[in-house]
């Protein structure tokens, strides 16, 4: 079973952040989930569920 890596995006991202996420995807060793918290229609219940389902959480 692959690890689950959750990336919570809080606004415009530096180029290196996108690079880190892209490299994780390329490696194929983890399921990568991205949630953009800068949108106004964020389902925070879903965010919380994803946090608890993930093996690692990064906030950018």
Give per-residue pLDDT as tens, 6-47. Answer: 999 999 889 999 999 999 999 999 999 999 999 999 999 999
Residue whose C-alpha is closest to residue 4's, from 22, 24, 19, 26:
24
Please say if the pLDDT value at position 53 is more than 90. yes
- Sheet holding 30-36: strands in order across? 30-36, 3-9, 56-59
- Tokens 């925070």, located at residue: 44
Architecture of the domain spanning 3-59: 3-Layer(aba) Sandwich (3.40)
Domain extents in the chain: 3-59
pTM of model > 0.85: yes
């Amino acid at each position: 079973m692959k690890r689950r890596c959750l990336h919570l995006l809080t606004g415009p991202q530096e180029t290196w952040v996108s690079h880190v996420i892209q490299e994780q995807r390329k490696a194929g060793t983890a399921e990568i989930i991205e949630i953009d918290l800068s949108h106004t229609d964020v389902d925070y219940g879903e965010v919380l569920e994803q946090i608890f389902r993930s093996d690692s959480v990064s906030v950018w």
